Each structure stands twice: as C-alpha cells, then as structure tokens.
Amino acid sequence: MTTLYEVHGPVALITLSNPPVNGLGYQTRASITENLQKANDDQTIKAIVITGAGKAFSGGADIKEFGTPKALQEPNLLSVILALENSSKPVVAAIHSVCMGGGLELALGCHYRIAAPGCSVALPEVKLGLLPGAGGTQRLPRVLGVEPALNMIVSGEPVKSELLAQIPGQKLFDRMASSVESLADEAFALAQAISDTRPLPLVRSLPCKHPNGDAYFQFARNMVKGMAKNFPAPLKCVDAVEAATKQKFEEGMRQERAFFVNLMWTPESRALRHIFQAERAASKIPDVPSDTPNRQINSIAVIGAGTMGGGIAMNFLNAGIPVKLLEMKQEALERGIATIRKNYESQVKKGKLKQDKYEERMGLLSTTLRYDDLTDADLVIEAVFEELGVKEKVFTELDRVMKPGAILASNTSTLDLNKIAAFTQRPQDVVGLHFFSPANIMKLLEVVRGEKTAKDVMATVMTVAKKIRKTAVVSGVCDGFIGNRMIEQYGRQGGFLLDEGCTPAQVDKAIENFGFAMGPFRMGDLAGNDIGWAIRKRRYQEKPDMKYSKTADLLCEKGRFGQKTGAGWYDYVQGKRDAIPNQEVVAMIEAHRASLGITPRQISDEEIVQRLVYALVNEAAHILEEGIASKASDIDVVYLMGYGFPVHRGGPMLYADQVGLFNVVQAMKRFARNPLDDASFWKPAPLLARLAAEGKTFN
Ligand code: T1G
C-alpha cells in the first residue's frame, strides 16, 4: 500500500506515503484510485482530502520508473487525474513542502486546493528534457493565467506557494493555510464547508485565453530559442501552452500527450534523466552503508590561503561553518583574506549577496600562523604547493596537533594520497578532497579514497560535500584520479591531430560544434599551457615510452602560456577573451610537422570528435575496470560537472552507450592503424571490448 486511508467524521483522508518524496509510481497510483473508489462508495463520506506524508506532497511521477513498463501501467497518471475529476464527492488537495511535476498535475485534477506557505511548487519536467505530460500545460494556465504558467513550465523552477497565491485572479489555491501544522485541520474545514457545493468545480472547464496570443507566443518562442539551443523541450512547452489557448481542452490534452511521448524518446531527455539519477547515485558508495554514522563536523581548518585555499574556505563560510585559515606568513594570510573579501564584495555589488550575509560569513573566518591553534578543528583541508615534500611537512604537523578523530584531507590533484596518508600515524583519517578551480564556484568534488581511509570518514565527507553544495564523486588513488587522468588522453589526441594536419582552430571548432563550451586549445589557453607542460615534463621522466606530440612544448618554449601571457595557441586582446588565430603558431605547427616528415592530411570533424571523445571513453573504461570509479555514471558526473562535457549528451559514457560500444570499438581499431597515432592506446580496455562484444552498455 502506498497511500493511507483514514476517516475523520464525514471526510476521508487519503495520504500519499511513498518515501522519499511520494513519487507517483504504479503502486501509489493504483492505491489512490482504490481509496478514491472506497471513499465514493462509503455513504458516510461527504468529502475527500488528499495529502502527502513526510517531506513532500508529491515530487511528481516516479523518475525511477521511467523507461520501464510500470511507468505506463494503468492506472497511469492521466487515469488517476481523471478519476479525481470524476469523483462524485469533492476532492480537496492539501499541499505542503514540495508539489512538483505530476504531483502538481494531480492537485490540478482535484476540485479544491489548499496550500501551506513555503511550499515549492513547480513543473520541472523541462529539466528532464520533457514537458508536463499529465495535463500541466493545459490546466496550469487555466488557474494561474497563461504568462505565469508558461514561465513556470519553460523554466521548470519552483515558486513558493504564497507567491503564487498573490497572483491576481489566480485559482490555483482556493485557500492558503496559516502553516504546515494547521494544514490538515484547515483542509478538513474546507472539505466540510464545500461538501454540498455542486457542480464540482473542474479546472478543465475554466477559460484559457491570451489577449494578444499570436504576438505573445511569438515573443515567447524568441525568448526560449536562446536557452533551447540543444534542447527540443522548451519550444514544445510553448506549443503546448499555445494549444491550451487555441484548442478545446481534450484536443490540447491530445497535443500535450503527443509532445510528451515524443520528447521522452529524445536523446536529450535520456541524457537529462540520466544526469538526474547519476548525480544522486554518486553520493552512494557501494561498500559504505547509507546509515554509517558520521563524525561531527562543526569547524574546519584550511592550510594555505592561496587561490585554492581561499576558495575552499569560502565554501564552508557560505554554509555557515567556521573556518580557521593557516598560512606560514602574515602577508600571505592578508593576501588570502583580501582575495576572499574581493570575491564576496563582487557578489554584493552584483546583488547576489546581501551585505549582512557577507559580514556574517567573514565573521566565521579566523586566521592563524600556528598549527597549535588548529586542535579543535574537526576537519582540516590542506591546499598547499603541489609537491610531496611540502605535503609531508604539513601532514607531519597535522598529525602532531589535530585531535583524535579529526579528518585530515588533502586537496592534491596529482599526488599519491596513500603516500600522504603514510606521513601520519592515522591513515584511516586521511582522505582526498580534490576541489576544482575556482573552488568556491565549481560544483564538482573528487573525494579520493585512500587504501586505509575509514568508511565513516567517507560517509562523513560525502555528507559535508552535500552541505557545501558540491556534487561529490568517489575516486580511488591513481595519477590524475578520474577527470585529470581522462583529460590527459584527450589532450594527447589534440596534439597528434595537429601533427597530422589540423590547426588548433579546426580542432576546437569541431569539438565545440559537438557541444563542448571550449575545445582543448582554447581551454589550454584559459587554464595555462604551462600546467600541461609541467605534467608532460614529469611524464617524460616517468613514462619515457608514452608518445606525445612535441608541439605544445614548442609553444611553451616561446612563453605562449595562454591568456595569462596574452598569447598561447591563439592571441588575445587585453581584457577580452576572444581567441584570435595566430599565423606564427600555425607556421610553427607546419614546420614541426615538416621536420617529422609528415605530409598533412585533411581530417574530418567527425574523426576529430571521435578521437577526442573516444580517448575519454577508453581511459574511462580502464578507470572503471581498475575500480578507481565504482560506476560509469560517476565518470559522467565528473566529466559533465568538471570538464564541460555537453549536458545534452549526458556524459562520455552515456554518449558511448548511445553511439553503441561496438561502433566505438570499430572506430578505435581504425585509429590504431594510424602510424602517427598511439596504436597501443587505442587497444580497447578489456571491459570496453567485452561489453561491445556482448552488445552491452556501460550504464
Ligand atoms: N521520482 C522518484 N524519486 C525521486 C523523485 C521523483 N520524482 N524526486 C526525487 N526523488 C528521489 C531522489 O532520487 C533521491 O533518492 C531522493 O528522492 C531525494 O532527492 C507526468 C512525467 C523533489 C525537490 O522532476 O527536484 O512528473 O537518491 O536528493 O534535495 O508530468 O528531488 O535518496 O534514493 O533531490 O530534498 C517531475 C525531481 C518528474 C522532481 C527533493 N518531478 N526531484 O529535493 O532531495 S516528471 C521532478 C527534485 C513528471 C509528469 C512528469 C528533488 C526534490 P535517493 P533529492 P531534495
């Protein structure tokens, strides 16, 4: 049973009870119709109230059911809503906390609606590449007015119930309860007050017009086109709402249904639904039970007040958690504080942060030059120079001063976390927290699990990540963890493509047309080509047989590090970010190619995209089979949130699944035959080869 049935005098109460958010899965839908029938059959019942248990009225259709036969199994959501509308006794929806998607559509099928203040009301289907598919595009405009309804449907953003109740002429809420606590009683009172009122009001019977329909919808389409770039759903939302103003209700419903079913099968919707699940699945660690007790984290210490240390500190200040910032010298501390202030002040200037909030956050920040001041911190995060000797000094000190049970984290992005843990007597308390720059903006956090990291430390840092609004992905210990290890292969392919005949602009344009915000060369100029240069120098020592194009080194030897030097692969005008192709660089590439005796060839955009993306996929397959990542969707989350993989393609692993792993392997075999490429790299990872041979997918 996933709804509860109670009788309160002449009122029947149906309570959705399908934790965590009363998703309208098959069991719940069937249970609603059963109890609705029961109430209609009971002569003593004069009215019905429907509400949700726990932290939501309803979060909508059960996303976990999508793509399974259950999602369409009768009674589907449309049938449930029809049953509510056709109930011979009035149905009152008592709405609180979260009322979204199908949950709002269900409420719109009721005869009356009463809402508690503070409830998040939304039709977020567009964020899943869909549109409301159970009457939302036809009913919401009828109770809110066309424009507010279309705004909600196209944005998918929640609006607080009390704000919606203030819209002149709105018929979404017949009443506002004074609080969540009094909602039930006030809903019963409303139910009794209207129990004899006939005819029962139906939202479908309300008029739906817009005084300047053609002009307004043309305007709406123009506005939506910008955001809709790679997504078909937003424009379909406009079409569906326009149908509500021009067609009879049933015809409008037919059009909505057709749009919904069509969108459900688009790759874009598949990608967005995958990302929704993947982001939430990432916080689940297979061998760490979800009820593992967390350590108390009430205060943080950050070692290093540089760019990363300052950004890391801001995450915790923003979450209201006190931070003690340690540096070796006073002027370094002052520089760090000044940077934090500058960041906050620019947010205040843009109206993104209130002055009092800014001051409150700065009030949580303290500084010190002494390790002995850190003893009461529950979690310390080191963000010092990326050199093992420096880390050793820091962790030896931390081991000396930190209280037992404190968590010692390193923000290292390239060093071996197990070696860092071994600098302490408590490797079980050591973990990697790899933030991405700018640390206070980027949502991705790679949580690096050492061989000895305790399970409760893992559970605790995953909770902390959610508290500071980061999407955490667990990585094992390897060079580059997940993201940087993959991008190294992506970058290598970029170099080979130059040697074989491409210009930087051609490679960037090809992959940017695929959907990346920036190609590898524009990105190198942004991040600084000297970073990759340092890594390659290390690589030449560690892995002398690893093949690299030398072009990037030649560029760096000219001091062309990118935007920070005003010139890199491209030229830049002071204060602007436009990448201007530079003929000298192209000539340098051509001369280098000639020196290798390479005759340049025309390389198609398709080959460019495949070599860059499949390089990610093959390296990711190795990462999966080595257990560095526990699931393919984690790798998608890393690459979507940290490296700009196009959202509408769902991540490198989902994209490979949609291309078909057999086709990916076939392409890799072609690349392996190219003498100028690295044939050994293109040997499919065993996992990839097996899945392709078995016709299976990563996800
Ligand atoms: N179905 C199933 N599970 C859901 C769910 C849903 N709609 N929404 C959330 N969950 C799970 C989520 O996977 C996680 O599970 C847990 O709830 C907590 O989620 C016909 C077809 C409701 C605002 O798009 O926006 O209706 O990982 O971490 O931060 O027109 O979840 O713990 O196992 O996000 O408190 C439309 C999506 C569906 C709402 C709560 N509805 N959900 O946020 O918790 S399509 C949505 C949210 C539809 C109809 C169409 C948020 C939330 P687990 P959480 P939260």
User: Quick check: 324 pLDDT over 70?
Assistant: yes
Q: Which of 21, 72, 277, 466 to mutate to test the pocket of ligand 1 (most atoms within 8 A of CB)?
A: 21
Going from the Cα of 61 to the center of ligand 1, the distance in angstroms, rounded, reads 9
Going from the Cα of 124 to the center of ligand 1, the distance in angstroms, rounded, reads 10
Going from the Cα of 116 to the center of ligand 1, the distance in angstroms, rounded, reads 20
Q: Is 11 in the pocket of ligand 1 (CB under 6 A)?
A: no
Which CATH number does the domain 3-264 belong to among 3.40.50.300, 3.90.226.10, 3.40.50.1110, 3.30.360.10? 3.90.226.10
Q: Is 562 in the pocket of ligand 1 (CB under 6 A)?
A: no
Q: Where in the chain is the domain with CATH 3.90.226.10?
A: 3-264
Q: Is 59 in the pocket of ligand 1 (CB under 6 A)?
A: yes
Residue-wise pLDDT for 218-237, tens only, equals: 999 999 998 888 999 999 99
**268 annotated active-site:** no
Q: Is 135 in the pocket of ligand 1 (CB under 6 A)?
A: no
Q: List the catalytic residue out of 6, 34, 85, 125.
A: 125
Going from the Cα of 68 to the center of ligand 1, the distance in angstroms, rounded, reads 17
**125 annotated active-site:** yes
Take residue 444 and report the two structure tokens written for it: 């991705």
Residue-wise pLDDT for 638-685, tens only, equals: 999 999 999 999 999 999 999 999 999 999 999 999 999 999 999 999
Amino acid occupying residue 305: A
Going from the Cα of 185 to the center of ligand 1, the distance in angstroms, rounded, reads 27
User: Quick check: 67 pLDDT over 90?
Assistant: no
User: Quick check: 312 pLDDT over 70?
Assistant: yes
How far apart CA 654 and CA 533 sit, in angstroms, is: 31
Q: Is 81 in the pocket of ligand 1 (CB under 6 A)?
A: no
The 3-class SS string of 67-105 reads CCHHHHCCCCHHHHHHHHHCCCCCEEEEECCEEECHHHH
Going from the Cα of 657 to the center of ligand 1, the distance in angstroms, rounded, reads 24
Q: List the catalytic residue out of 85, 105, 446, 619.
A: 105
Q: Is 101 in the pocket of ligand 1 (CB under 6 A)?
A: yes
The confidence band for 539, taking pLDDT boundaries of 50, 70 and 90, is: confident
Q: Is 21 in the pocket of ligand 1 (CB under 6 A)?
A: yes
Q: Where in the chain is the domain with CATH 1.10.1040.50?
A: 483-694
CA distances from 291 to 207, 208, 223, 463, 464 (A): 51, 49, 46, 11, 15
Q: Is 642 in the pocket of ligand 1 (CB under 6 A)?
A: no
What atom of ligand 1 comes closest to residue 100's alpha carbon? 41
Q: Is 20 in the pocket of ligand 1 (CB under 6 A)?
A: yes
Q: Whose CA is nearest to atom 12 of ligand 1?
A: 280
Q: Is 100 in the pocket of ligand 1 (CB under 6 A)?
A: yes
Break the chain down into helix, strand, coil percent, rounded to 5.
50, 10, 35
Q: Is 280 in the pocket of ligand 1 (CB under 6 A)?
A: yes
User: Quick check: 452 pLDDT over 70?
Assistant: yes
Residue-wise pLDDT for 173-210, tens only, equals: 999 999 999 999 999 999 999 999 999 999 999 999 99
Mean pLDDT, all residues of the chain: 96
Going from the Cα of 59 to the center of ligand 1, the distance in angstroms, rounded, reads 5
Q: Whose CA is nearest to atom 27 of ligand 1?
A: 280
The confidence band for 493, taking pLDDT boundaries of 50, 70 and 90, is: very high
User: Quick check: 423 pLDDT over 70?
Assistant: yes
Going from the Cα of 101 to the center of ligand 1, the distance in angstroms, rounded, reads 9
What atom of ligand 1 comes closest to residue 102's alpha carbon? 26
The confidence band for 1, taking pLDDT boundaries of 50, 70 and 90, is: low
Q: Is 156 in the pocket of ligand 1 (CB under 6 A)?
A: no
Instruction: Note the pLDDT of residue 63.
Output: 86
Q: Where in the chain is the domain with CATH 3.40.50.720?
A: 300-475
Q: Is 62 in the pocket of ligand 1 (CB under 6 A)?
A: yes
Strands (E), 221-369: 300-303, 323-326, 365-368
Going from the Cα of 33 to the center of ligand 1, the distance in angstroms, rounded, reads 22
Q: Is 60 in the pocket of ligand 1 (CB under 6 A)?
A: yes
Q: Whose CA is nearest to atom 18 of ligand 1?
A: 20
User: Quick check: 492 pLDDT over 70?
Assistant: yes
Q: Whose CA is nearest to atom 28 of ligand 1?
A: 280
Q: What is the pTM of this model?
A: 0.93
Q: Which of 16, 58, 63, 106 to mutate to test the pocket of ligand 1 (most atoms within 8 A of CB)?
A: 63
CATH architecture of 300-475: 3-Layer(aba) Sandwich (3.40)
* 483-694 CATH: 1.10.1040.50
Going from the Cα of 323 to the center of ligand 1, the distance in angstroms, rounded, reads 33
How far apart CA 589 and CA 555 sit, in angstroms, is: 9
Q: Whose CA is nearest to atom 49 of ligand 1?
A: 102
Cα atoms found within 13 Å of the Cα of residue 206, Cβ hemisphere only: 23
Q: Is 125 in the pocket of ligand 1 (CB under 6 A)?
A: yes
**Other residues' Cβ atoms within 10 Å of the Cβ of residue 526:** 16
DSSP letter at 319 equals T
Take residue 111 and report the two structure tokens written for it: 């005869």
Q: Whose CA is nearest to atom 30 of ligand 1?
A: 132
Q: Is 23 in the pocket of ligand 1 (CB under 6 A)?
A: yes
Geometric angle at alpha carbon 241, from 111 and 171, rounded to 5°: 30
Amino acid occupying residue 97: S
What atom of ligand 1 comes closest to residue 283's alpha carbon? 27
Q: Whose CA is nearest to atom 53 of ligand 1?
A: 280
What atom of ligand 1 comes closest to residue 62's alpha carbon? 1
Provide the phi-psi class of 32: left if phi over 0, else alpha when psi is between -120 and 50, else beta. alpha
- Work out the average pLDDT over 12-19: 97
- By C-alpha distance, which of 126, 168, 175 is closest to 147? 168
Write phi, then psi, for 619 (nearest 5 degrees): -65, -35
Going from the Cα of 70 to the center of ligand 1, the distance in angstroms, rounded, reads 17
Q: Is 99 in the pocket of ligand 1 (CB under 6 A)?
A: no
Geometric angle at alpha carbon 499, from 495 and 501, rounded to 5°: 115
